[in-house]
Amino acid sequence: MLRQSPTSPLLSLPGAVPAEGRDEGVAAHYGDLFREQRALAAGDGMVDLSHRGVVTVTGDDRLGWLHLLLTQAVSDLPPGHATDALVLSANGHIEHALYLVDDGETVWAHVEPGTQESLIGYLESMKFFYRVEVADRTDDIAVVHLPAGSIADVPDGVAVRETSHGRDLFLPRGDLAAYADAHGPRAGILAYEALRVEAHRPRLGFETDHRTIPHEIGLIGSAVHLQKGCYRGQETVARVHNLGKPPRRLVFLHLDGSEVHLPPPGTPVRLKADGEEGRQLGFVTTSVRHHELGPIALALVKRNVPVDAELLAGTTAAAQEVVVEA
């Protein structure tokens, strides 16, 4: 069972509606989902991601050691340079996703809620003679997201991951409520997820299952460096890249806006021409309502599904956009 992070103090704010499932512990929204999305898209406000796990690695060997374990090249990672990385199984399946930055003394990483203990267990088993210390900082550090274009200040001494879609702050958990008061408007996790789906960014445990390999969801390059080896699962990565294609691919779906309900994760995806009883070709991974695009989703489908095929997500008509080439 996944360990829950501490419940966010922002859930006590007026209008806060608790999120459910994997995002339990933070607000789904604060009363106006589309207003919150528009604020984020405009570079305003902040998102409470304090339910995410936080792991740090310190010690003189931290970057060289992580370079041997992760799919990303981090041995020469400059201070302040954000990157994404994966831990794979021996068969190349994705087990962990890390969103990390090194501040010159410490590698800071946030991970999916509740997965930090398993990740730390793996890292601890691989320490051997390396001069590294691994710590679970989830109880005392809260992740806060500022959207791209935000002019909000960053407190002194706080580690920051800056990417094309915004900045992730590793904020002392005791400072979370005061920081939120000073940097509104606040946006819930549903607004953050809507923009994530719009940007085609996969999420561990949502766009992945026990057999997902990085190629299927478009992580080659962004989280997997093809010019390095030595990490667990590297043989599968190289073989699929050089000799074949992945069995599935991630797609972006525009859903029929006349439907009242969104197709939940796991909803079968079929060819529209074959109807609701046709052969299942994949499944919905995340579905959201977007302030401009309407209902949209990500889905995993078989690689040989024609890219121009009209699909059904359950009973909902869906037009696909390519995320990963067939």
User: Rounded to 5 degrees, what are φ and ψ at 322?
Assistant: -75, 130
Within a domain: residue 218?
Answer: no
Residues 60 and 164 in one domain: no
Q: Please answer whether residues 290 and 198 qualify as being in contact, where contact means their C-beta atoms are separated by less than 8 angstroms.
A: yes
Helices (H), ranges, the chain:
33-41, 62-69, 116-125, 176-182, 189-198, 234-243
Q: Are residues 154 and 272 in the same domain?
A: no
Average pLDDT rounded to a whole number, residues 69-93: 97
Burial of 299 (0-12, 13-18, 19+ CB in 10 A): buried
pLDDT (average), residues 78-82: 97
pLDDT in tens, 254-308: 999 887 899 999 999 999 999 989 999 999 999 999 999 999 999 999 999 999 9
Q: Are residues 162 and 147 in the same domain?
A: yes
- The verdict on residue 46 lying in a domain is yes
Same structural domain, 321 and 278:
yes
Residues 44 and 146 in one domain: yes
Does 209 fall in a domain?
A: no
Exposed / middle / buried, residue 199 (Cβ in 10 Å: 0-12, 13-18, 19+) = exposed
276 lies in the same domain as 320: yes
Residue 214 inside a domain? The answer is no
Q: Is the same domain home to 38 and 145?
A: yes
Q: Give the pLDDT score at 178.
A: 95
**Are 70 and 116 contained in the same domain?**
yes
Residues 6+ apart with CB under 8 A from 289: 33, 34, 194, 262, 295, 296
> Taking a C-beta distance cutoff of 8 angstroms, is the pair 309, 282 a contact?
no
Q: What is the mean pLDDT of the chain?
A: 95
Task: Establish if 220 belongs to a structural domain.
Answer: no
Kindly state the helix (H) or strand (E) to which residue 304 belongs, with its residue range: none
- Helix, strand, or coil here: 67? helix
Answer yes or no: is pLDDT of 1 > 60: no
- The pLDDT, as a whole number, for residue 114 is 95
In a domain, 234, yes or no: no
Confidence of residue 326 (pLDDT cuts 50, 70, 90): confident
**CA-based angle 258:33:99, to the nearest 5?**
110
Average the pLDDT over 46-70 and give the result.
Answer: 98
* 258 contacts: CB under 8 Å, gap ≥ 6: none
Cα(259)–Cα(183) distance, integer angstroms: 36
Least confident span in 138-147, 163-172, 238-247, 279-288: 238-247
CATH of the domain at 73: 3.30.70.1400
Residue 2 pLDDT? 58
Is residue 221 in a domain? no
| Residues 167 and 286 grouped into a single domain | no
Query: Which two tokens mark 77?
Result: 């990672």
Query: Are 141 and 174 a contacting pair, CB within 8 Å?
Result: no
167 & 314 share domain: no
Residue with tokens 């370079």: 67
> Is the peptide bond prior to 14 cis by the omega test (within 30 degrees of 0)?
no
CATH of the domain at 251: 2.40.30.110
Residue 191 counted as domain residue: yes
Boundaries of domain holding 311: 247-325
Whether residues 144 and 79 share a domain: the answer is no
Interior CA angle at 82 toward 147 and 114, to 5°?
Answer: 80
Please tell me the predicted confidence (pLDDT) of residue 3.
61
Q: Are residues 32 and 156 in the same domain?
A: yes
Domain final residue pick, 136, 156, 177: 136
Q: How many domains does the chain have?
A: 3
pLDDT digits (tens, 9 = 90+) for 5-31: 789 999 999 999 999 999 999 999 999
Share of the chain above pLDDT 70, in %: 99
Distance CA(199)–CA(201), nearest Å, equals 6
29 contacts 75 by C-beta, under 8 angstroms = no
Helices (H) and strands (E) in the chain, counts: 6, 18
